[in-house]
Amino acid sequence: MAKLSVDKVDLSGRRVFLRVDFNVPVEGGRVTEDARITAALPTLQHCLNAGAALVLASHLGRPKGKPDPRYSLAPVATRLEELLGQPVPLAPDCVGEEVRNRASALGSGQIVMLENLRFHPEEEANDDGFARELAALADVYVDDAFAAAHRAHASIDAITRHLRPAVAGLLMARELQALSHVVGAAEHPLFAILGGAKVSDKLTLVESLLARVDGLLVGGGMAFTFLASLGHGIGRSLVEPDKVDAARAVVERARSRGIPVRLPVDVVVATGVDDPASARTVAIREIPPDMMGLDIGPTTVAHFKAALGGVRTVVWNGPMGVFEKEGFAAGTLGVARAVSESSAFSVVGGGDTIAAIHRAGVTSRIGYISTAGGAFLEFLEGRELPGVAVLDDA
């Protein structure tokens, strides 16, 4: 069901509670990576140009339900000021009398950013009273935080009981359009590339994808559980023993449907992630018992690239190795380039995967880059996302 978007609502002279996901990395009091902030700028600018006043709300990190200066949104407000070229004052809290006064004093085109929502345990508890306080700050609710849409939190779910209309921001609308295309209207052949550390994080997704994809390419730590399920020795590589049978069942189910599941044929092994000097590339059947696989090898990258030939749609989530370590990033970067060089429409999601796309310098050649991780996966699994379900239908 399509959701009503913010560009279809009259905002002139109204206060907008804009839920964004500005959960970005901060070091030394400065934002070090601002992709999620820049992704929300079109919605912010639309609201301001339409004559609205903006009450911005976000979480940052996991402050465990109490104020913690390490998780203040002050650096985020500073960065947003730089990007917008106008003041973005930070309120001392997200609820309370002073916050209500600041919100009510806003004029058309002005902004206030609320302090971290997760400084209150009621946010993650989806508390109705807390949500009512947030709702009292504005006249319209706009959710542009697709990356948090899988969380039934007060600023995402309960607030909509007290503040309507409740509509999708422009980023949210784009996310829903792109992912709905993959789920329901993708051109075939459709291939999925899955990586990351654990099969348990992706098992539901894999089982869901088997109903709609024409091929699976599996790398990252999760590949070793699949390899173990097929009888390969994997040395000290990451494995989830309790998921070996499930991995084997996935492979068998895929084969019965004629869906190829391509696993690594070579890997980069080392004695550990902090010993890149010991790294070397070996075939899957030659992993030494005292070493661990930490990246896919160049032959695997070539095989994955060849598999994408003629594919019309590609969805990718999860790195192919310990991407954050220089000695084990080549496989992920190689797959990023392969996806970008494919003629397929590509949809990429997840923080590490997006970082790889940027690092490989191929951002402009990707069809759609999702800001989300968990929500991206749950949407592809076919789950209803709380933050989407509560929005007004178009």
Tokens 């060089």 sit at which residue? Answer: 341
The active-site residue, picked from 3, 36, 118, 243, is: 36
Beta-bridge partner residues of 295? 268
Beta-bridge partner residues of 143? 19, 168
Q: At a CB cut-off of 8 Å and minimum separation 6, what does 282 contact?
A: 266, 267, 269, 288, 297
**Known catalytic residue: 66?**
no
Q: At a CB cut-off of 8 Å and minimum separation 6, what does 149 contact?
A: 143, 156, 172, 372, 375, 385, 386, 387, 388
The active-site residue, picked from 51, 61, 109, 351, is: 351
The active-site residue, picked from 51, 65, 109, 374, is: 374
| Dihedral (CA of 144, 167, 346, 385) sign | positive
Q: Measuring CA to CA, which residue among 216, 201, 183 is closest to residue 379?
A: 183
The active-site residue, picked from 14, 100, 132, 198, is: 198
Residue 213 is encoded by which pair of tokens?
Answer: 């994809």
CB of 357 closer than 8 Å to CB of 336: yes
In eight-state DSSP terms, residue 392 is P
**Known catalytic residue: 36?**
yes
Q: Are strands 140-143 and 166-168 parallel, antiparallel or unpaired?
A: parallel
**Known catalytic residue: 374?**
yes
**Known catalytic residue: 198?**
yes
Query: How far, in Å, CA of 252 to CA of 106, rounded?
Result: 60
What are the residue numbers of the active site? 36, 198, 351, 374
